[in-house]
Structure 1
Amino acid sequence: MIQPTLIKKQRLILYALLALIIITIVTGMGMGYASLSYDRLIPTLLGQGTFKEEFVLFSVRLPRIIITLLAGMALSLSGAILQGVTRNDLADPGMIGINAGAGVAITVFYLFFPISGGVFGFVLPLVAFAGALITACVIYLFSYHKPEGLQPTRLVLIGVGCSTALSGLMIVLISSAERIKVDFIAKWLAGSIWGADWPFILAILPWLAILIPFTLYKANRLNILGLNEAVAIGVGVSIEKERIQLLLAAVALAASAVSATGSIAFIGLMAPHMAKALVGPRNQLSIPVAVLLGGWLLLFADTIGRHMVEPEGIPAGIMVALIGAPYFIYLLLKK
């Protein structure tokens, strides 16, 4: 049974994170190369702005803000699932090769299978999911040892190796491509939030709408899987079945996010850890906090990065890496 004081603490943290998200959204809507004053935000949102104001808000800034928020939520939830399933605090979709697998699939699709722009945003998450799923299956097979089960340390090492190999393959693929296509892949690799348009929001939203409730429903199973296999078997949990279901959810979340934002690491590593530090290790409490925290972290990184260097700014993936790399080193030293 969860203590009432912990539940109360979690709710206060959730309210605080929602407030931070709203403040960051409002700040991001008013900042940018094209001027849109804060006193014009509400009239423009209500349809009373000029053509320029409505274009800047609804076609440029708002889609980017929403897709960044949703992607951060998806990556943080994916990281929370992976850390629970693998019993490894360093598991992250970017670090263990899932993002790289999605990236190779996107690269091959973009270079060799041209498709009309109208359905591009809807097809790309499926392509990314296929690439990420194949990579996850390979990593899982090489990390699994029948007498002992899944080896968490081996999983991270194999994942890092796969990520490096796939990154090299991606460079080989784009080395002979056209300049405009190389520019697109380079932006994807830097995590530049390139899919800042409404079709990409509609493509990623169903994954979150389905998989957030699914993960919360599986939260107690995730708690048990995070202990050890003997305990899980003792309480009647079908380990492999639960692992496969949760891994599929993690892969789908990561793939849908990186298909629109590009290769972004460390969000899935940092947000679950911070959430557990705030409300404890129970997934029923930490997952909602991690989801909001991951969304805010990526949104904050993108908002700051966009305005550090005019007019292009610094990609969100680089901003997150600047924060995440020291945090990763801290975790390595701690664990």
Structure 2
Amino acid sequence: MKGTLANETLVRFRSRNKGLTTMLILGALILIVFIISMNTGYIRLSPAVLIRTLFGAGSDKESLILFDFRLPRIVISILIGAGLAVSGCIMQGISRNALADPGILGINAGAGLMVTLFISFFSATSTSSIFLLPILALLGGGATALLILVLAHRPHQPLSSTRLLLTGIAVAAGLSAAMLVLTLRLNPDQYQFVATWLAGSIWGTNWKFVLSLLPWILILLPYVIYKARVLNVLRLGESMATGLGASVSREQLKLLFAAVGLAASCVAVSGGIGFVGLIGPHLGRRLVGSRHQLLIPVSALIGALLVITGDTLGRWILQPSEIPTGIVVAVIGAPYFLYLLSRTKE
């Protein structure tokens, strides 16, 4: 007995050390891309100019470029990546399906439809709209999640992860079609905005958008980490989780609400960036295993790294034009999704 306990303690210690090392490496990579991204754009800022501007000694033009345009966009990219990846991690945990993702399941499409409806009647750049959009996106994403659960549910049967996935794909296709129909009544400026949004362009690029997104991340991310043990139990299956004393349905609803809140608030300022919630948790699981105490923060860091890298590449490849971040991420994510689909056993 003592030997077994000692072995378990040693395994946990090694796993924790591996997780911390992984997080440090990912943090260092994010910092490197962060520095590169500050110097990426139509107007280049040399390292000396960057340092001088960061310490307040730059010209008005240099300060405007760095503090008003680039830094907010970089911070938003990191927040969006972390939020979408953790949302995907939750959905994969409660559905026990590695293909679950807020984009694939239609949550992003539901949030996007609500944002598109709002934009068709009101301005999206006013101060009140900036803080209202995440709430509207949450309502749209929540309604979509509820619809998917109702359609995928079968009386007296456990919820099938495959049925949930296929239902989500069908609902997402329907909502995307509805968004396209809705664009027919938009004026040219509104249509251009929606088209850019659908491509996954980070359109909220000032500090007001950072402030509108930050509370959602700061509240929901610690809550999900707090619920890591519950996610570990839910992975064991409904019968086992019930036997261990977990209130499965109630915990699933709480975690689903957190996942929808994270995804919808990110979608409200980033548009339709897909695959981040799929790739982040899956790579995190390969790096640190399935224990959500480590998997959640590692997934957040991988998601942040993926989006900030995609945004930086999108601004660099075709200067002075930009490739939407969603397209760059999709170039990476689509082949990876097909790879996962080919390996699934269901």
Q: For 2:85 and 2:233, locate their aligned partners in 1 and report how far apart those are by CA, in whole Å.
A: 20
Q: For 1:184 and 1:259, locate their aligned partners in 2 and report how far apart those are by CA, in whole Å.
A: 13
In structure 1, what is the equivalent of residue 204 of structure 2? 195
Q: Which amino acid aligns with 2:60?
A: F
Q: Which amino acid aligns with 1:14?
A: M
In structure 1, what is the equivalent of residue 94 of structure 2? 85
Aligned mate of 1:171, from 168, 171, 180? 180
In the alignment, does 2:31 pair up with 1:43? no
Q: For 2:290 and 2:91, locate their aligned partners in 1 and report how far apart those are by CA, in whole Å.
A: 14
In the alignment, does 2:336 pair up with 1:327? yes
Matched residues, percent identical?
Answer: 46
Structure 2 matches for 1:54-133, cutoff 5 A?
54-114=63-123, 117-133=126-142
In structure 2, what is the equivalent of residue 162 of structure 1? 171
Q: Which amino acid aligns with 2:231?
A: L
In structure 2, what is the equivalent of residue 22 of structure 1? 31
Flag structure 2 segments of 5+ consecutive residues without an equivalent.
Answer: 1-7
2:200–2:327 Cα contact (<8 Å) kept: yes
How far off is 1:312 after superposition?
A: 2.2
How far off is 1:130 after superposition?
A: 0.7
Q: Which amino acid aligns with 1:134?
A: A
In structure 2, what is the equivalent of residue 289 of structure 1? 298
1:204–1:257 Cα contact (<8 Å) kept: yes
In structure 2, what is the equivalent of residue 280 of structure 1? 289
Aligned mate of 1:233, from 223, 242, 250? 242
In the alignment, does 2:267 pair up with 1:258? yes
1:81–1:247 Cα contact (<8 Å) kept: yes
How far off is 1:313 after superposition?
A: 1.5
Q: What are the Cα deviations for residues 295-324 of structure 1, in whole angstroms up to 9, with x where unaligned?
A: 011100110111111222211100010000
Q: For 1:152 and 1:334, locate their aligned partners in 2 and report how far apart those are by CA, in whole Å.
A: 15
Q: Which amino acid aligns with 2:172?
A: S
Q: What are the Cα deviations for residues 169-208 of structure 1, in whole angstroms up to 9, with x where unaligned?
A: 0011111210000000000000110111111111111111
Q: For 2:326 and 2:206, locate their aligned partners in 1 and report how far apart those are by CA, in whole Å.
A: 18
Query: 3-state SS of the aligned residue for 1:271?
Result: helix
2:123–2:129 Cα contact (<8 Å) kept: no
Q: For 2:124 and 2:273, locate their aligned partners in 1 and report how far apart those are by CA, in whole Å.
A: 25
In structure 2, what is the equivalent of residue 12 of structure 1? 21
Q: For 1:31 and 1:109, locate their aligned partners in 2 and report how far apart those are by CA, in whole Å.
A: 33
1:143–1:152 Cα contact (<8 Å) kept: no
Q: For 1:136 and 1:311, locate their aligned partners in 2 and report how far apart those are by CA, in whole Å.
A: 39
Cα distance change of structure 1 residues 116 and 276 upon mapping to structure 2, 3 Å threshold: closer
Q: Which amino acid aligns with 2:213?
A: I
Q: For 1:266 and 1:35, locate their aligned partners in 2 and report how far apart those are by CA, in whole Å.
A: 30
Q: For 2:50 and 2:76, locate their aligned partners in 1 and report how far apart those are by CA, in whole Å.
A: 19
2:124–2:130 Cα contact (<8 Å) kept: no
Aligned mate of 1:147, from 140, 156, 181? 156
Cα distance change of structure 1 residues 33 and 114 upon mapping to structure 2, 3 Å threshold: closer
Q: What are the Cα deviations for residues 36-88 of structure 1, in whole angstroms up to 9, with x where unaligned?
A: 11111122111111001100000110011000110000000000000001111
Give TM-score, length-normalised by structure 2: 0.95
Q: For 1:175 and 1:256, locate their aligned partners in 2 and report how far apart those are by CA, in whole Å.
A: 26
Query: 3-state SS of the aligned residue for 1:149?
Result: coil
In the alignment, does 2:278 pair up with 1:269? yes
Q: What do you get for the CA RMSD once the two structures are aligned?
A: 1.1
Aligned positions, number: 335
How far off is 1:115 after superposition?
A: 6.6
Flag structure 1 segments of 5+ consecutive residues without an equivalent.
Answer: none
In the alignment, does 2:147 pair up with 1:138? yes
